[in-house]
Amino acid sequence: MSNGDIVDTKSREEKINAAFVSMTDALMSEYDIVDLLSTLLNACIDVLDMDAGGILLVDATGELELVASTSEEAEIVETIIVAAGEGPCIECYDKAEHVSVPDIERVAEKWPKFYASAKQQGFLSTYAVPMRLRDEVMGVMNILSAQPVEISEGDGKIAQALADLAVLGVLHERNFRTPVAVTEQLHLALDTRILIEQAKGVLAQREHLTMTEAFDALRHYARVNGLTLRHVAEATVHRTLATEDLISDRSAAAPVPRSIS
């Protein structure tokens, strides 16, 4: 468990501080929702000592769609998408409260598909937190661990606080006027995710990158140039931003440039 982990160089308090600082940093600068939610996810994974996760937002038809994930690899994405159909994510969403599964063996019968997918990826426990706006749930954050982890009440509260902070950020991004504006923001976030996937495809094809490398390149370029991820993805797909430039920028900043085959 996180608070019993003495090997870790950062103390629990330092991690919590770092998490809130990274969230406020993200909120203070030019950001878009996908970027903000990725920051939230990484902060929670770090504080709670978990291994992987994803954030899902509800779409126009009430389906949960994956907007941010710790890995771009298809297998982990698959596990979280399964959890949205039958598993901790949909239960968390329906009940509007956190769902804790310290040992996935216990849900083998309840959620066989999720169990099989998580187990195959080596995950032994999972935790889901609702993304709430007053009485409404607009999404779910789901995190997974390769260890059997029971999230303490205190850790659960921190995860919820970080999630609430992110929701406020989502609303803050454009002046929050009406309920229409809120759902508009959600749908823009889902659409940004689609643009990012399309941009990843362009980069993967042009520069022979894996999907994870492509995502990292997009995010890095956005950061370095003070642009939103949406803007960079859009320019990549419309081919107004050359993929060579995206890559050269990335290699210049990265300590180990990747040789392009």
Partner 1 sequence: MSAAQTEADAGQKLAAPFLDLLPITGVAISVLDRDHKASVIHASDDTAAQLEETQFTLGDGPLFECFATAGPVLVPSVSDDSRWPLFLSHADQLAVGALFFFPLTLGAACIGTVLCYRDSPGHLERETVDVGSGLARAIAGPALRHAILLADGEADAKNTPTEMRREVHQATGMMLVQLDVSATDALARMRAYAFAHGVSLREVARSVVSGHLDFSTEGLIT
Give the binding site for partner 1 (CB under 8 A): 59-61, 63, 65-66, 74, 77, 81, 85, 180, 183-184, 187-188, 190-191, 194-206, 211, 233-234, 237-238
* Least distance in angstroms from the C-beta of 145 to partner 1: 23
- Comparing CB distances to partner 1, the nearer of 54 and 169 is 54
String of DSSP letters for 96-114: TS-EEES-GGGGTTTSHHH
- Comparing CB distances to partner 1, the nearer of 196 and 217 is 196
Amino acid (one-letter) located at 246 = L
* Least distance in angstroms from the C-beta of 184 to partner 1: 4
Please provide the distance, in angstroms rounded to a whole number, between the alpha carbons at the two ends of the chain.
42
* Least distance in angstroms from the C-beta of 250 to partner 1: 17
Q: Which residues pair with 133 in a beta bridge?
A: 136
- Comparing CB distances to partner 1, the nearer of 44 and 214 is 214
* Least distance in angstroms from the C-beta of 203 to partner 1: 8
Residue 160 half-sphere exposure toward CB, CA atoms < 13 A = 17
- Comparing CB distances to partner 1, the nearer of 171 and 211 is 211
* Least distance in angstroms from the C-beta of 193 to partner 1: 8
Reduce the DSSP state of residue 54 to 3 states and report it.
Answer: strand
- Comparing CB distances to partner 1, the nearer of 59 and 97 is 59
Q: Are 217 and 246 in contact (CB under 8 A)?
A: yes
With 0-12 CB in 10 A as exposed, 13-18 as middle and 19+ as buried, what is 200? buried
* Least distance in angstroms from the C-beta of 161 to partner 1: 29
* Least distance in angstroms from the C-beta of 130 to partner 1: 20
- Comparing CB distances to partner 1, the nearer of 2 and 117 is 117
Alpha carbon distance 101, 123 (integer Å) = 11
| DSSP category for residue 226 | T
With 0-12 CB in 10 A as exposed, 13-18 as middle and 19+ as buried, what is 98? buried
Alpha carbon distance 66, 40 (integer Å) = 14
Q: Are 131 and 37 in contact (CB under 8 A)?
A: no
Alpha carbon distance 55, 198 (integer Å) = 19
Phi and psi angles of residue 154, each rounded to the nearest 5 degrees, phi first: -60, -45
- Comparing CB distances to partner 1, the nearer of 193 and 250 is 193
